[in-house]
């Protein structure tokens, strides 16, 4: 199967009450780990590339790695998506350069400007058979070099979504309902602590999601910042020389519930980073004499694969849907 757009995937996900996993890719091991798990679990998948990933690995290398995965995993549909496209030029470069989906993220701009930039990207993308994700509302956390403090984040305003979607023609909409980018999603004073002393974040705003869905029936909604920050990996990092106190994520049962509603795409990046970093730290701690990258990247890749499998089966509900 060649690369596909997300149109058909989202339609089935919406009707079936599950979500597609959108995982960020930056190198070969991550592409392999994600797509091997998806092939084995027969899950459709979105591989997404950020501005930072393009700067790190180079556009062509990433496209060719994803094309290799398409050849190796012919049974599953794969979307190649630009994550957080910062401007028209970056979106155009990805549309011209083999992507099947782009996100234009003008969510930090005033409403009218967000509409104007998004519409321009949609016109160009649709002319080239590519679909567009846009964003309304502001998530807390860090994307590339943009850091949004928790107090500066704002939930999506449901009363704006119909005008935004009809004026831009976007194909899916990312909304802010309390998720946040990175491993440190919430400050300690936004959370309570459970009996183990682990921070428990405030619940997602399902009332906002439901109001948005009521106004946009059948329309695919996207959640960014949806890593759950597995405490096993935080512990593995901290037990092996790392220092990540109070890293906390979105509870998986809340993501599962969102996937049963109108959320068709759930973005997960930080969890994969934690699995990779924890695995490599543990390997070096246990084998201080080793220096072959293949030896320490192998367990990292295997652990990312198992983590992705868990997300597909237990969180997203998309296993067996390819």
Q: Which residues bind Zn ion (CB under 5 A)?
A: 224
Residue span 4-43 as binding mask against ligand G3H, x where in contact by CB under 6 A, dash where not: --------------------x-------------------
170 by DSSP, 3-state: which? coil
Tokens 């602590």 identify what position? Answer: 193
| Phi, psi (deg, nearest 5) at residue 145 | -95, 10
Binding to ligand 13P (CB under 6 A) within 195-224 occurs at 224
* Shortest distance in whole angstroms from residue 105 CB to Zn ion: 8
Q: Note if 232 is an active site residue.
A: no
Phi-psi region of 95 (alpha: psi -120 to 50; beta: other; left: phi over 0): alpha
Catalytic, out of 15, 83, 246, 314: 83
Structure-token pair, residue 257? 């519930």
Interface with ligand 13P by CB under 6 A: which range of 68-76, 148-156, 198-206, 267-275?
A: 267-275
Q: Looking at 22, 45, 53, 322, which residue binds ligand G3H (CB under 6 A)?
A: 53
DSSP characters over 105-161: --TTS-HHHHHHHHHHHHHHHHHTT-EEEEEESB-BEEETTEEE-GGG-B---GGGH
Query: Which residue, 45, 65, 46, 44, is CA-closest to 54?
Result: 65
Q: Which value, in Å, is the radius of gyration of the alpha carbons in the chain?
A: 19
Among 29, 83, 133, 171, binds ligand 13P (CB under 6 A): 83
> In whole angstroms, what is the distance from residue 304 CA to residue 282 CA?
14
What does 52 bind: ligand 13P, ligand G3H, Zn ion, none (CB cut-off 5 to 8 Å by kind)? ligand G3H
Nearer to ligand 13P, 39 or 84 (CB): 84
Q: Quick check: 54 binds ligand G3H (CB under 6 A)?
A: no
54 binds, among ligand 13P, Zn ion, ligand G3H, none (CB under 5 to 8 A by kind): none
Binding-site size, ligand G3H (CB under 6 A): 10
Residue ranges in the chain assigned as alpha helix (H): 7-16, 28-41, 51-57, 59-72, 88-96, 111-127, 161-168, 206-215, 231-239, 252-260, 270-286, 293-310
Smallest distance, Zn ion to C-beta of residue 292, A:
34
Does position 133 interact with ligand 13P (CB under 6 A)? The reply is no
Kindly state whether residue 85 participates in binding ligand 13P, applying the rule CB under 6 A.
Answer: no
- Under 8 Å between Cβ of 236 and 281: yes
270 binds ligand 13P (CB under 6 A): yes
Looking only at residues 66 through 95 of this chain, which bind ligand G3H when binding is defined by CB under 6 A? 83-84
- Minimum CB separation of residue 231 from ligand 13P in Å reads 15
- Segment near ligand 13P (CB under 6 A); pick from 27-35, 111-119, 262-270, 296-304: 262-270
| By the rule CB under 6 A, 50 interacts with ligand G3H | yes
- CA–CA dist 87, 90 (Å, integer): 6
So which residues are the catalytic ones?
83
Residues that bind ligand 13P (CB under 6 A): 24, 83-84, 181-182, 224-227, 267-271
């Amino acid at each position: 199967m060649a690369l596909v757009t997300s149109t058909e995937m989202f339609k089935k996900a919406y009707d079936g009450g599950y979500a597609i996993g959108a995982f960020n890719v930056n190198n070969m091991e991550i592409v392999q780990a994600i797509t091997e798990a998806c092939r084995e679990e027969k899950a459709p998948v979105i591989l997404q590339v950020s501005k930072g990933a393009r700067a790190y690995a180079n556009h062509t290398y990433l496209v060719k790695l994803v094309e290799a995965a398409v050849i190796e995993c012919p049974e599953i549909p794969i979307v190649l998506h630009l994550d957080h496209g910062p401007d028209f030029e970056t979106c155009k470069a990805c549309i011209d350069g083999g992507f099947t989906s782009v996100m234009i993220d003008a969510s930090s701009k005033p409403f009218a400007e967000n509409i104007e930039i998004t519409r321009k990207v949609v016109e160009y993308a649709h002319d080239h058979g590519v679909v567009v994700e846009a964003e309304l509302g502001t998530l807390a956390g860090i994307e590339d070099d943009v850091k949004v403090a928790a107090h500066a984040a704002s939930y999506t305003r449901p009363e704006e979504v119909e005008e935004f979607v009809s004026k831009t023609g976007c194909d899916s909409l990312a909304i802010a309902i309390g998720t946040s980018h990175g491993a440190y999603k919430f400050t300690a004073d936004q959370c309570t602590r459970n009996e183990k002393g682990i921070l428990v974040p405030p619940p997602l705003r399902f009332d906002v999601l439901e109001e948005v869905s009521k106004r946009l029936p059948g329309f695919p909604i996207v959640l960014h910042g949806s890593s759950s920050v597995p405490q096993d990996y935080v512990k593995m990092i901290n037990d092996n020389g790392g220092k990540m106190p109070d890293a906390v994520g979105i509870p998986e049962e809340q993501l599962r519930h969102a996937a049963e509603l109108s959320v068709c795409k759930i973005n997960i990046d930080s969890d994969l980073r934690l699995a990779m970093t924890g695995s490599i730290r543990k390997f070096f701690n246990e084998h201080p004499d080793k220096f072959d990258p293949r030896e320490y990247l192998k367990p990292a890749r295997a652990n990312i694969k198992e983590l992705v499998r868990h997300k597909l089966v237990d969180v997203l509900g998309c296993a067996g849907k390819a």
